[in-house]
Amino acid sequence: MQYTRLARAKQSEPDAGSIELKKQIEQEHAANKEQKEKQKADALWASFMADVTPSPKTKQNTTSSASSNTKTQVTSAVHSIL
């Protein structure tokens, strides 16, 4: 009878090895969670930048169109004065 009580007491008390193992597992889970959160944040940031950054071709076309329109307006204004 006493042996059974002693065995149960030992089972309920964690040994130093299992405590260390639990700490290591918790640290690994925390590191994995941080890594996943960082990957999500990086993906979100990349998606945002893709949405707000104009493409180089669009920017050149807009600049070209704007300068062409300005030249046309200036030319028209000069002709109307003369």
Per-residue pLDDT at 78: 54
Per-residue pLDDT at 34: 97
Distance CA 42, CA 34 (A): 12
pLDDT in tens, 14-30: 688 899 999 999 999 99
pLDDT in tens, 31-64: 999 999 999 999 999 999 999 988 777 555 555 5
Structural domain harbouring 75? 2-81
Q: How many helices (H) and strands (E) does the chain have?
A: 3, 0
The domain tally of the chain equals 1
Distance CA 7, CA 13 (A): 10
